[in-house]
Amino acid sequence: MAGTGLTKHRFGLLLALGLGLGLGIPLAMGGPEVVRVLLQVPPEIPVLLMGMIFVGWNLNAGRVRLLTAGADVHLGQAKALAILMATEFAICITPAGSGGPLTYSWLLSRHGLARSRSLALYAADQFFDMLFFLSALCIVLLNWLLVPRDWHLGWQLGSMTILLIATMSSMWLCVDHCRFLCRKTGRLLRGLGVNTRWRRRLARAAMEFHRGLRLVKGYSPARLAAIFLLCSAHWLLRYSVLYIAVKAVGGEISWSYAFVVQMLSLTAGQATLLPGGSGGAEASSGLLLAPQIEPTTAAAAILLWRFATFYWYLIAGAPVFVTLAGGPVWRLAAK
């Protein structure tokens, strides 16, 4: 129990630091005028953003149900939603989201799924996310190069969805060569001088990832397509939050640029090793928005965006995590 207390204390300090930086950076960037701009935002906008996140959670809960049903574990929507919210809370409150797989696997183990298989499912779930973002980034870049700037938002989203499905179909063919790619990567890392401990950790993660792919490879094409469509719908909805936030505070930005800002900012935030990428996400998004909108407007939009995609996750997810996982997961994390 002492170890658990120390873990909670450390995470508490990291969370406090993250919250301080997450609020302090936008306020320093925009100055006192940020509060005035936020007070002028219609109250239905934060409600809309929270509602979008809640719909996204339900889409992801549907993805959890499809993944676990393929492993002979049948969950109701409410149970899947609770598992998803607790896992999202654990991702947000721990450095680099390290608590996510632990919470996910422990909660699924309570429904009769072995920990090794639940970790494999989590890895498969991450595969669909990675596939979406890799595809989306390529498509957005092509969109900037080939599509007129005044192309309607609906056409942008529609074309992205179609191209994502096509990309998924082609990339899935590479699953059979996963072991070959892992061996080649290991040799490359050894040649680059990466130490043995890190290579072994990466190898274990890669093998868990491969087990997840092998597990879902046996799923029917219809199930795989449904999982990926739910994944895409969730991320397209969540990555529309910054676009709406900028509009709400009087700024002007393209949806595709807002998408890239969020993708790069959240990736940069992970490098800070603070809960939710705090500090890094706000600083990098501020730098990326600076060429498009003025600082006060950008800072207000960032606070709205982070409220919906980070603070709301903590507020809504905390009671679910404490109820479902709480002490047992903390004890596992302290080992």
What is the per-residue pLDDT for 64? Answer: 94
Calculate the CA dihedral of residues 331, 333, 334, 335 and round it to 10 degrees: 90
Q: Which residue has the tokens 């999982």?
A: 227
What is the per-residue pLDDT for 2? Answer: 39
Q: Rounded distance, CA 185 to CA 207, Å?
A: 13
Q: Which residue has the tokens 């959890």?
A: 64
The set of residues, in sequence order, having a beta carbon less than 8 Å from that of 108 and lying 6+ positions away, is 68, 73, 83, 118, 121
246 vs 217, 276, 301, CA distance in Å?
40, 21, 5
- One DSSP character per residue, 98-129 reads THHHHHHHHHHHTTT--HHHHHHHHHHHHHHH
Contact (CB, 8 A) for 246 and 303: no
Question: In this structure, is the dihedral angle defined by the CA atoms of residues 136, 137, 140 and 141, taken in order, positive or negative?
Answer: negative
Q: Give this prediction's pTM.
A: 0.81
DSSP 290: T
- One DSSP character per residue, 307-334 reads IIIIIHHHHHHHHHHHHHTHHHHHHHHH
What is the per-residue pLDDT for 16? Answer: 84
What is the per-residue pLDDT for 3? Answer: 40
Domain boundaries, the chain: 2-334
What is the per-residue pLDDT for 49? Answer: 97
What is the per-residue pLDDT for 18? Answer: 84
Q: Which two tokens stand for residue 217?
A: 């490879």
What is the per-residue pLDDT for 258? Answer: 92
What is the per-residue pLDDT for 227? Answer: 92
3-state SS of 216-277 is HHCCCHHHHHHHHHHHHHHHHHHCCHHHHHHHHCCCCCCHHHHHHHHHHHHHHHHCCCCHHH
Q: Is 97 left (phi over 0), alpha (psi -120 to 50) or beta?
A: left
Q: Rounded distance, CA 72 to CA 66, Å?
A: 10
What is the per-residue pLDDT for 206? Answer: 66
What is the per-residue pLDDT for 5? Answer: 45
pLDDT in single tens digits along all 335 residues of the chain: 334 444 566 667 877 888 889 999 999 998 889 999 999 999 999 999 999 999 999 999 999 999 998 888 889 999 999 999 999 998 988 887 878 888 998 899 888 887 777 888 888 888 888 888 878 877 777 777 666 555 555 565 566 566 656 655 655 555 555 566 666 666 666 666 666 666 666 666 666 666 666 777 778 888 988 998 999 999 999 999 999 999 999 999 988 889 989 988 988 888 787 888 888 899 999 999 988 899 999 999 999 999 999 999 999 999 999 998 776 666 665 55
